[in-house]
Amino acid sequence: MKILLSAYACDPTHGGEGGNGFNWAWEMANLGHEVWCLTTPWGKDAIEAEMHARAANPAAQRLHFVFVPVPGWVEFLYRWQFGVYLHYMVWQYRAWRLARPLDQRVCFDLVHHVTFGSLQFASWLWRLGRPLIFGPVGGGQQAPKLLRRYLPDWFKTETLRNLVSWLLVTFDPNVRQTLRHAALVFAANRETAQLAWELGARHVELAMSTALPLSFFPAEYPVREPLAGRELHILWLARLFPRKGLHLVLEALGQVHPRVKFHLNIYGDGPVAPLLPGWIEAAGLRHRVTWHGNAPYATVRSAFLAHDLFMLCSLRDSYAAQYLESMAMGLPILTLDHHGATDFIPNDAGLKVPVQSPEATAAALARAVEHLYDHPEELESRGRASHAYAREQSWPALVARLLLRAADAAHVLSDLVPVHAPAPAEMA
């Protein structure tokens, strides 16, 4: 098929949205489709260098990047938050303007919007009149009001965000038109799926919103030193934003019974960093927590292998990529049972605590730590389940699987069955 891919963020040297955009483009081409990828010029140098390095691969001949700039004044405003949103909206408009003559020349069989993955900002490309896949997208999730005490700037970060979201889905016709014209909407969590249905989407399915390169996975499950008699090593890794829930994690660990030997290592930096020493002190964890700040990739990768449990309790996330990275390294997960964690962390790969009052939630997390410490065989089995699940989430496997699901979901997408099936090693 001839596919037009909208990937505002696209950079092979980055993780997150940038890496997602490039990997979607590459894996579609690797399956035998001819792909034109609309993106910003920000990743141009990295993309061209990567494509040069892969020039011998036949997929490189089927992948064409189209760099869509925005006016200089829009670039200038990007330094402020409102400018970030403006930049994306202007880029989408200009991408559509450029896509019209491109479509007349190529006659695309499919349009697919992958980044940014936000339901509220929709896509202009439904106007081309081609079959459209929208997503995976998030945006329907909201931070639980029960835990608002862990979000001190609730009005700024949550009330205003929810208001903007409501205004967009209520008054921007582009949102409803995108969903109604899409042959298939891939939703990154059940909250977003529900919102898509309510706004008129014809076909919605849940889908994992991220994946990992094959090179990320260890050759086999990383066996750890038996827990008996030693500390439980707990890892927390994220940007230090209030919504990442570190304050809740520290309060919970402060309630763990003293008989339980554990140590928490925190990797990351961000706006709430000045508050972190006070949170650690208030929880009585001065000698049980080490904050490492930002760390290079090699250090973080080693940290995954040196720990027994990954504990990230995001208050609002489509799906945290760190969950998948830690599972790939054989770490069981301890988190909250909502948003993408509900849908894409298997029940046997960790423990998910329901959202309750702050006191009840912290207590439940503390009891979960005690339980895993007291049952090291369960810690081991959940780690193995994590690793097995993550092995199924490589980029080649994810893209092939979602395109097959799309082919089954809508008749107009039936030609998405791969022209070149991935080798078994790629699907692992």
- Percentage of the chain lying above the pLDDT 90 cut: 88
Cα separations (Å) of 218 from 46, 136, 328, 329, 378? Answer: 26, 27, 8, 7, 21
Task: Return the structure tokens found at 329.
Answer: 């390294």
* Local confidence band at 298 (pLDDT 50, 70, 90 cut-offs): confident
Tell me the pLDDT tens digit for each residue of 299-334: 999 999 999 999 999 999 999 999 999 999 999 999
Q: What is the pLDDT of residue 425?
A: 47
* Local confidence band at 405 (pLDDT 50, 70, 90 cut-offs): very high
Q: Among positive and negative, which fits the CA dihedral 177, 160, 352, 301?
A: positive
* Local confidence band at 418 (pLDDT 50, 70, 90 cut-offs): low
Tell me the pLDDT tens digit for each residue of 32-43: 999 999 999 999
- Percentage of the chain lying above the pLDDT 70 cut: 97
* Whether residue 355 has pLDDT greater than 80: yes
For residue 38, the cross-strand partners are: 6, 66
Q: Among positive and negative, which fits the CA dihedral 368, 369, 375, 376?
A: positive
- DSSP 8-state class, residue 360: H
Domains of the chain, first to last: 2-213+394-427 (3.40.50.2000), 218-391 (3.40.50.2000)
Work out the average pLDDT over 340-369: 97
Q: What is the pLDDT of residue 43?
A: 94
Q: Coil, strand, or helix at residue 379?
A: helix
Q: What is the pLDDT of residue 194?
A: 97
Least confident of 77-81, 117-121, 165-169, 350-354: 77-81
**Beta strand 232-237 with 204-206: parallel, antiparallel or unpaired?**
unpaired
DSSP string of 150-183, one letter each residue: G-TTHIIIIIHHHHHHHHHHHH-HHHHHHHHH-S
Chain centre to alpha carbon of residue 107: 31
* Whether residue 424 has pLDDT greater than 90: no
* Whether residue 343 has pLDDT greater than 70: yes
The structure's pTM equals 0.93
Q: What is the pLDDT of residue 113?
A: 98
* Whether residue 428 has pLDDT greater than 70: no
How large is the C-alpha radius of gyration of the chain? 22
Contacts of 1 (CB under 8 A, 6+ apart): 33, 34, 109, 110, 415, 416
Q: Which of 206, 197, 249, 256 is nearest to 232 (CA)?
A: 256
Q: What is the number of other CB atoms lying within 10 angstroms of the CB of residue 150?
A: 22
Place of tokens 């990797």: 267
Element of type H or E holding 326 = helix 321-328
Phi, psi of 64 (to 5 degrees): -125, 125
Mean pLDDT (the chain, rounded)? 94
Task: Report how far residue 206's alpha carbon sits from residue 184's, in angstroms, rounded to the nearest whole number.
Answer: 11
Q: Which of 340, 329, 246, 353 is nearest to 289 (CA)?
A: 246
Tell me the pLDDT tens digit for each residue of 239-264: 999 999 999 999 999 999 999 999 99
Tell me the pLDDT tens digit for each residue of 360-379: 999 999 999 999 999 999 99
For residue 280, the cross-strand partners are: none
Chain centre to alpha carbon of residue 423: 25
Least confident of 159-163, 203-207, 424-428: 424-428
Task: Report how far residue 335's alpha carbon sits from residue 280's, in angstroms, rounded to the nearest whole number.
Answer: 19
Tell me the pLDDT tens digit for each residue of 128-137: 999 999 999 9
Amino acid 320 reads A
Instruction: Give the total residue count for the chain.
Output: 428
* Whether residue 204 has pLDDT greater than 80: yes
Please answer whether residues 397 and 211 qualify as being in contact, where contact means their C-beta atoms are separated by less than 8 angstroms: yes
HEC assignment per residue over 62-79:
CEEEEECCCCHHHHHHCC
Q: What is the number of other CB atoms lying within 10 angstroms of the CB of residue 16?
A: 12
Task: Report how far residue 353's alpha carbon sits from residue 321's, in angstroms, rounded to the nearest whole number.
Answer: 19
Contacts of 77 (CB under 8 A, 6+ apart): 83, 86, 87
